Structure 1
Amino acid sequence: MTTIRIHLVEDDEPTRKRLHAALAADPEFQVESFGNLADARAAIAAQPPHVLLTDLELPDGHGTSLTAEVHAAHPSVEILVISVLCDEASVVAAISAGASGYIVKDALPEDIGTTVRQVLQGQSPLSAAIARYLLRRLQPATEPAPDPDQAAETNLGLTAREIDILWGIAKGMTYNEIADGIGISRKTVPNHIKSIYRKLEVNSRGEAVFEAISRKLIQL
């Protein structure tokens, strides 16, 4: 059995205990919980987890700072932020810092574990509300007439297949679902995603989705 190490950072003790219990119910999850950034940073420095779940408002700083630090130092760590409903701005800031998605504080126990497994399988748990927020935030007040040369530059050399894969990532599809949907081998999907990252100059699925929406490469 593969052990998945999870670090949970949440300052509210009842919430921390509830989230910890929900995660620890999965026999493959090894969970360590922390109530502040200092303790979490020390633990991560000693041994980075596979998945980091961090609240945003913490007593000694902000979870977005921890997200950026961990993403820069340990890019293989999957990061989920813990949010409350109607907190789109904070979630988007965390995604820009390197998070791959988020869980809602009041989520059902089974949904918490499912979200962690989704991000480990290559999905980006981004709700329609977050996608709409991104579109509203990035939509200009007036739409200029399309410029073919500018449109070509905006695509950054992405192929039609890479655009399709980007759309699949944004929809939260697994690599297998993306491969089946566009008729390619599942083994080739990671290579396409590496190419997408290189062209968009990003390092995570969350950043890729953010950049794709901001450049209007995809619409959800």
Structure 2
Amino acid sequence: MFRRRRREEPEQVAEEAAAPQTRESGPWDAEEAHPEADRVDLGGLRLTVSPDLDVQLAVAGDQPVGVIVLYQESALQLHAFAAPKRSGLWDDVRTKLAAGVKDAGGTTEERQGPFGTELFGQVPGDGGTPQPVRYLGIDGPRWFLRAVISGRAALDETIAARLEEVIGDVVVVRGEEPMAPEEAIVLRLPSEARAAGADDEGPKLNPFKRGPEISELR
């Protein structure tokens, strides 16, 4: 039996068409509307820094390859990669991460977090003592952001919330150049770090010191 579809009022259609698609949190793509904030420009990533955070760049030679944020005996690592236009990477990366942790003698389990499905792991640390780690992945338009939370924040929700704020305010600058899937998005030293005589009262940004790192698994 066929029924006639109820005719929508023109005003209703106009309101629905005009309604903006908004999100409360990022990570954001550089091409989409996102809240204004005082962010440090690292090329492929822009992130907010504040005096309570110690922000460092992980470098390979002279090339920055990731961001490390230290906060209350905890570390947040951020790495951005190119991704296919029509599919994300997190499902595949998460499977590889779980296999890598298992091969290293650790364990993992999937959990639901503020950015969707994440991987909670116990990885062997110094002396073989298991260390808690959270692996988070966010698929964006042609990019993938991987975040790793370790230290106290892997278990303490209050401390983790501060680092999750950092993740939710990140802006990813993918660029238009062709890139292979999982190719790292290029980072650069911020102009503040290149300038001589950093302001001691400003946010801490040490672009050369390498902070604590979890083994690169992807």
Q: TM-score, normalized by length of structure 2?
A: 0.21
Name the one with the larger strand percent: 2
Name the one with the larger helix percent: 1
Q: TM-score, normalized by length of structure 1?
A: 0.21
The higher radius of gyration belongs to 2
| Larger RCO, structure (CA 8 Å, separation 6 or more) | 2
